[in-house]
Amino acid sequence: MAKEITSRVNDYSQWYNDLVIKGGLADYSSVRGCMVIKPYGYAIWEKMQAALDKMFKDTGHVNAYFPLFIPKSFLSKEAAHVEGFAKECAVVTHYRLKNDPNGSGVMVDPDAKLEEELIVRPTSETIIWNSYKNWIQSYRDLPLLINQWANVVRWEMRTRLFLRTAEFLWQEGHTAHSTSKEAVEEAERMLGVYTDFAEQWMALPVIQGRKTANERFAGAEDTYCIEALMQDGQALQAGTSHFLGQNFAKAFEVQFLNKEGKQELVWATSWGVSTRLIGALIMAHSDDDGLVLPPKLAPLQVVIVPISKGEEDMKKIFEKCEPLLKELKSKDISVKFDDDNTKRPGFKFAEYELKGVPVRLAMGMRDYENGTIEVARRDTKEKSSQPFEGIGTYIENLLYEIQENIYNRAKLFRTTNTHQVNTWDEFKEVIENKGGFVSAHWDGTSETEEKIKELTKATIRCIPLNNATEDGKCIFSGKPSKERVIFARAY
Amino acid sequence: MAKEITSRVNDYSQWYNDLVIKGGLADYSSVRGCMVIKPYGYAIWEKMQAALDKMFKDTGHVNAYFPLFIPKSFLSKEAAHVEGFAKECAVVTHYRLKNDPNGSGVMVDPDAKLEEELIVRPTSETIIWNSYKNWIQSYRDLPLLINQWANVVRWEMRTRLFLRTAEFLWQEGHTAHSTSKEAVEEAERMLGVYTDFAEQWMALPVIQGRKTANERFAGAEDTYCIEALMQDGQALQAGTSHFLGQNFAKAFEVQFLNKEGKQELVWATSWGVSTRLIGALIMAHSDDDGLVLPPKLAPLQVVIVPISKGEEDMKKIFEKCEPLLKELKSKDISVKFDDDNTKRPGFKFAEYELKGVPVRLAMGMRDYENGTIEVARRDTKEKSSQPFEGIGTYIENLLYEIQENIYNRAKLFRTTNTHQVNTWDEFKEVIENKGGFVSAHWDGTSETEEKIKELTKATIRCIPLNNATEDGKCIFSGKPSKERVIFARAY
């Protein structure tokens, strides 16, 4: 084997770290809590970005860029925002260094203190709405449908690569509307975009829902979310979309002249997904041999490993495969012919399994003479010998099949690991021993929600959209309830 | 007119600001020195990014992402880097806010002081080479060809939108090589990529050259650059590519085992272009009516303005134009049919001129009946009536023609404004009254270079690559010189 991977059963958390580090996705940096996204990990992010960006543009959004820094006073303007938002932020207090008179290095110049401290953006509602104030005068300026691709910083104390880092990359949409209805529709539309992206690109089935008041974004009237289930039975929030009401318009005095000539406050949404999705992608599909990437997001979709004893054979195999390389490229399938003769085929096989390349082809001289090629699927690890003739179309179809299979497998896993429970004992038992999504009645109060969290570490992941109404009793308080909600322990 | 633009003759600097602000490219923000890049300006940046990113990948580079923050001590590690680099940096000293006991706002938590201050990256050589140390062991790990798209911060005191802002967006390539020769070739290759991008995409003719020792990047052995000429006769550095020797490898102890089994220090390059290019684009081509954008970078390449008296006519014109819209889109030409009936055609014409849309089409009922359409070029402001039949192909060719014409015009301007001078009096006269590039002999010393700068504000922009040797005398000192260099006042 190329690199030793801890098995999921032995240590799930170490398995995850092994995949990230040994798979070449990311690395720790010398700055506490900040990671380096390595080329292979960044290539996945680029594929995610391209797909999402197209979906945003197809729904009428444009990109823009707002400052990295937020004046400290801005954070105080929206009361719920400042109260609810984590205060762990990077604070810029000085703007100059100077040579240290006592040494060879540099020191912070005490004379270069900022009058008002600047916060490195943890999210950009405040700085953006401060700009929108100047951009919006009339109903004709609305809706404003803007997205930003950016880095943000939240000074997390306990970090994990991709899942929780001090700095991360994300996109944040910030839209402005003339009516509440339109803003709610926008928040729901973007939840739909995230759902399509998760399911169709990441092969990740998600539950769409609303957060409880407790779990809402600070400053939001309503937070929509998509929740996914990881292989260890923990939930992961994969994206959120907020209906912000008129809260930020009030805080930053953003009004518009409506069609009747009256001043009104503007309605807002914001929505975002981040590099955290790479963590979700890894934990949802991968196995003890390495990454399993859905073909649509795999940086390399097909690899061809020639198995030859000498240069002459290698040349023959390459010449045979050259038209296939061209054919696949013309179908927009990324493919590599690995002719590195410093590594053995077995080493390469393990390496490409670790990297999660969806289809691996191998051709030796016997294949060459028989007109066949060996095809190995990463998802099922099945190998088969296929006729070389027509292999391009075969691979194209196989990639679709793998994408679908990974999705179906994750969906089956979720179904198997979603439990309806009706009593408190049952609830505790399932949360503790089985994990997964737990569908249960809840009395709708924050007190009960917090108590359950305290006792079991399970939180309400969401109140599913289009939830069936059903008379029941809260598993904890026994009070009446009209619908079930989804509980889980979560990342 | 939609919006009043100051003329170039009256106030060049105000003309530039008018174009940026009124053209909707960028806006000032509440954070000193930081700008907001508005959707139209960002759309230009996205087109630049897409073209450059493809060129980087076609030359074997991959993208990655490194932390925003750099530990203060890293900046001291490479002596020339810290000495030469501007010390105006944003410094993070704290990691938490708290509720202000004396008010309703937040304050910096004095208990959350960082042990070592963090610098918001002004450039990433140090943090990247600190990672490369762990990634490079053997000659097999080389070359490492990595690029990063990122935001950087340099606390500039005098800022101008796009040209000089505290925060800006850029790309920075950082490569590692096993030989000096290979690193120099890489630095030159990337200068070639920048040249192709400037000339073929931005329609901006540039001079390729080397910086003098004085003007070199801090920590570089050699800095290559491309220099462009703006319409006010000032030069603008449009991109740089540095051969860094083994300086950063030494500072961060990055060695590799060569083929002979010996440890050697790694050789480095770095190269970058930034959102400053948008400033160059504006100043090189635009006129008193607004932006003139080269078709290859224009967010909107073609606009159709229907001129109709009523809904019925509008519908007829739209139906006539619909196949054209489809045809242009199928040719990857961005096009908009502007059916907004709240604005008069004259207003729209002025607006699209301001925005620099390369081709504007107008169709009234007379055109509709005659089978013609009015075509207006933004670059020359020529209007003509053209047969509607075959107009798609006509426009496609016209866009190429406009791209070429803008380039040729800029090149002619540069030729006209490049002056060979041989005496100090002539030099002063030209710099003061004519501006432009001044080609003159220089004795090769930093003292002379600095003296000339002090007296005339002109700097040596570059020593052109493939420069002709020519015996001459330094215009300032009269000492012998073997080649001419390019002087100019610069942005």
How many Å lie between the alpha carbon of B356 and the closest alpha carbon of chain A?
19
> Closest residue of B to A45, CA-based?
B64
For residues B130 and B454, give the distance between their C-alpha atoms in angstroms, rounded to a whole number. 38
Cβ contacts from A onto B, under 8 A? 197
Give me the phi and psi of A412, to 5 degrees please: -65, -40
Return the amino acid letter for A388: F
Q: How many CB atoms lie within 10 A of CB A455?
A: 13
Q: Which tokens belong to A45?
A: 């992010």
State the average pLDDT over residues B271-288.
98
Instruction: State the DSSP string of A36-98.
Output: EE-HHHHHHHHHHHHHHHHHHHHTT-EE-B--SEEEHHHHTTSHHHHHHS-----EEEE--EE
Enumerate the residues of chain B whose CB falls inside 8 A of the CB of residue A90: 69, 92, 94-95, 118
> Closest residue of A to B21, CA-based?
A135
* B93 closest CB neighbour out of A73, A94, A150: A94
How many Å lie between the alpha carbon of A220 and the closest alpha carbon of chain B?
19
- B106 and A38 in contact by Cβ < 8 A? no
- A27 and B131 in contact by Cβ < 8 A? yes
- For an interface test with A, the pick among B22, B31, B56 (most A C-beta atoms closer than 10 Å) comes out as B31
For residues A358 and A380, give the distance between their C-alpha atoms in angstroms, rounded to a whole number. 10
* A97 closest CB neighbour out of B69, B87, B104: B87
pLDDT (tens digit, 9 = 90+) per residue, B161-186? 999 999 999 999 999 999 999 999 99
pLDDT (tens digit, 9 = 90+) per residue, B243-254? 999 999 999 999
For residues A261 and A240, give the distance between their C-alpha atoms in angstroms, rounded to a whole number. 35
Which of B332, B102, B92 shows the shortest CA–CA distance to A34? B92
**Burial of A258 from C-beta contacts in 10 A (0-12 / 13-18 / 19+):** middle
Enumerate the residues of chain B whose CB falls inside 8 A of the CB of residue A106: 72, 75-76, 82, 87
> Does residue B2 carry a pLDDT above 60?
no
A159, A165 Cβ separation under 8 angstroms: yes
- B167 and A31 in contact by Cβ < 8 A? no
How many Å lie between the alpha carbon of B299 and the closest alpha carbon of chain A?
11
HEC string of chain B equals CCCCCCCCCCCHHHHHHHHHHHCCCEEECCCCCCEEECHHHHHHHHHHHHHHHHHHHHCCCEECECCCEEEHHHHCCCHHHHHHCCCCCCEEEECCEEECCCCCCEEECCCCEEEEEEEECCCCHHHHHHHHHHHCCEHHHCCEEEEEEEEEECCCCCCECCCECCEEEEEEEEEEECCHHHHHHHHHHHHHHHHHHHHHHCCCCCEEEECCHHHCCCCCCEEEEEEEECCCCCEEEEEEEEEEECHHHHHCCCEEECCCCCEEECEEEEEEEECHHHHHHHHHHCECCECCCCHHHCCCCEEEEEECCCHHHHHHHHHHHHHHHHHHHHCCCCEEECCCCCCCHHHHHHHHHHHCCCEEEEEEHHHHHHCEEEEEECCCCCEEEEECCCHHHHHHHHHHHHHHHHHHHHHHHHHHCEEECCCHHHHHHHHHHHCCEEEEECCCCHHHHHHHHHHHCCEEEEEECCCCEEEEECCCCCCEEEEEEEEECEC
Which pLDDT does position B1 carry in this prediction? 45
> Closest residue of A to B98, CA-based?
A87
- For an interface test with B, the pick among A22, A27, A30 (most B C-beta atoms closer than 10 Å) comes out as A30
How many Å lie between the alpha carbon of B154 and the closest alpha carbon of chain A?
9
- B95 and A95 in contact by Cβ < 8 A? no
Enumerate the residues of chain A whose CB falls inside 8 A of the CB of residue B31: 67, 69-71, 118, 127
* A31 closest CB neighbour out of B87, B98, B118: B118
One pLDDT digit (tens) per residue for chain A, 491 residues: 456 899 999 999 999 999 999 999 999 999 989 999 999 999 999 999 999 999 999 999 999 999 999 999 998 887 777 777 768 999 999 999 998 888 778 899 999 999 999 999 999 999 999 999 999 999 999 999 999 999 999 998 888 999 999 999 999 999 999 999 999 999 999 999 999 999 999 999 999 999 999 999 988 999 999 999 999 999 999 999 999 999 999 999 999 999 999 999 999 999 999 999 999 999 999 999 999 999 999 999 999 999 988 899 999 999 999 999 999 999 999 999 999 988 999 999 999 999 999 999 999 999 999 999 999 999 999 999 999 999 999 999 999 999 999 999 999 999 999 999 999 999 999 999 999 999 999 999 999 999 999 999 999 999 999 899 999 999 999 999 999 999 999 99
Enumerate the residues of chain B whose CB falls inside 8 A of the CB of residue A57: none
Q: Which tokens belong to B70?
A: 């750099």
**Burial of B310 from C-beta contacts in 10 A (0-12 / 13-18 / 19+):** exposed
Enumerate the residues of chain A whose CB falls inside 8 A of the CB of residue B73: 105
Q: Helices in A102-258 by DSSP H: which ranges?
A: 125-135, 180-196, 247-251
- A63 and B39 in contact by Cβ < 8 A? yes
- A96 and B127 in contact by Cβ < 8 A? no
pLDDT (tens digit, 9 = 90+) per residue, B438-468? 999 999 999 999 999 999 999 999 999 989 9
Enumerate the residues of chain B whose CB falls inside 8 A of the CB of residue A87: 96-98, 106, 109
Which of B65, B139, B190, B133 shows the shortest CA–CA distance to A40? B65
**ipTM of the prediction:** 0.96
How many Å lie between the alpha carbon of A129 and the closest alpha carbon of chain B?
11
- A169 and B65 in contact by Cβ < 8 A? yes
For residues A339 and A317, give the distance between their C-alpha atoms in angstroms, rounded to a whole number. 10
How many Å lie between the alpha carbon of B187 and the closest alpha carbon of chain A?
21
Q: What is the CA angle A119-A124-A129, rounded to 5?
A: 115
Give me the phi and psi of B254, to 5 degrees please: -105, 105
* DSSP for residue A467: P
> Closest residue of B to A84, CA-based?
B99
- A63 and B46 in contact by Cβ < 8 A? yes
- A127 and B31 in contact by Cβ < 8 A? yes
Which pLDDT does position A206 carry in this prediction? 98
State the average pLDDT over residues B60-74.
97
> Closest residue of A to B77, CA-based?
A105
Mean of per-residue pLDDT scores for chain B: 96
Return the amino acid letter for B37: I
- For an interface test with A, the pick among B87, B135, B146 (most A C-beta atoms closer than 10 Å) comes out as B87
> Closest residue of B to A120, CA-based?
B92
For residues B148 and B162, give the distance between their C-alpha atoms in angstroms, rounded to a whole number. 20
Tell me whether strands B26-28 and B437-441 are parallel, antiparallel or unpaired.
unpaired
pLDDT (tens digit, 9 = 90+) per residue, A197-243? 999 999 999 999 999 999 999 889 999 999 999 999 999 999 999 99
Enumerate the residues of chain B whose CB falls inside 8 A of the CB of residue A66: 29, 36
For residues B224 and B464, give the distance between their C-alpha atoms in angstroms, rounded to a whole number. 9
Which pLDDT does position A103 carry in this prediction? 76
Enumerate the residues of chain A whose CB falls inside 8 A of the CB of residue B74: 30
**Beta bridge partners of residue B460, listed in sequence order:** B487
- B117 and A108 in contact by Cβ < 8 A? yes
For residues A274 and A197, give the distance between their C-alpha atoms in angstroms, rounded to a whole number. 13
Which pLDDT does position B81 carry in this prediction? 75
- For an interface test with B, the pick among A56, A58, A72, A91 (most B C-beta atoms closer than 10 Å) comes out as A91
How many Å lie between the alpha carbon of B290 and the closest alpha carbon of chain A?
20
> Does residue B3 carry a pLDDT above 80?
no
Enumerate the residues of chain B whose CB falls inside 8 A of the CB of residue A299: none
- For an interface test with A, the pick among B27, B66, B102, B341 (most A C-beta atoms closer than 10 Å) comes out as B66
Element of type H or E holding A25: none
- pTM > 0.90: yes
* B42 closest CB neighbour out of A65, A67, A118: A65
- For an interface test with B, the pick among A95, A148, A274, A343 (most B C-beta atoms closer than 10 Å) comes out as A95
- A31 and B71 in contact by Cβ < 8 A? yes
Enumerate the residues of chain B whose CB falls inside 8 A of the CB of residue A68: 34, 120, 151, 153, 167
Q: Helices in A163-271 by DSSP H: which ranges?
A: 180-196, 247-251
How many Å lie between the alpha carbon of A428 and the closest alpha carbon of chain B?
36
Which pLDDT does position A101 carry in this prediction? 85
Which pLDDT does position B77 carry in this prediction? 86
Domains of chain A listed by start with CATH number: 12-64+124-285 (3.30.930.10), 300-398 (3.40.50.800), 418-488 (3.30.110.30)
